[in-house]
Amino acid sequence: MSQTHSEPDRGSVPPPTPRWVKVFGIIVIVLVLLIGIMIVTGVGGEHGPGRHAPPTLPTELSTQQP
């Protein structure tokens, strides 16, 4: 935050949203949707330690994890 640069003066009209913000927003929305779909459909498996733990550990998982 040490450098400064001025915004172009566009008079009394608010500047349009920059292209990099739009591209960034689209990427984030796609990633969030993908993660959401994976969680809802269970494609990615259970989230947390239970996802990787062997079936012999369910008691520990259910008692130690909130």
Partner 1 sequence: MTMTPGLRKFALTVHLTFSVGWIGAVVAYLALVFTAITRQDAQTLRTAWIAMEWTGWFAIVPLALASLLTGLVMSLGTKWGLFRHYWVLVSLVLTTVATAVLLQHMQTVTFFAGVARETTLSSADIDGLRGGLRGELLHAGVGLLVLLVIQVMNVYKPVGMTPYGWRKQHEQRMARATETTR
CA proximity to 48, closest of 66, 22, 21, 31? 66
Please report whether residue 60 would count as binding partner 1 according to CB under 8 A. yes
Contact 7, 13 (CB under 8 A): no
Please report whether residue 64 would count as binding partner 1 according to CB under 8 A. yes
Residue 31 tokens, joined: 């990633």
Site for partner 1 in 3-22 (CB under 8 A): 3-5, 7-8, 12, 14-15, 17-18, 20-21
Query: What gap in Å lies between CA 21 and CA 56, rounded to an integer?
Result: 47
Q: With respect to partner 1, which residue has the nearer C-beta, 2 or 41?
A: 2
* Contacting positions for partner 1 (CB under 8 A): 1-5, 7-8, 12, 14-15, 17-18, 20-21, 24, 48-49, 51-57, 60-61, 64-66
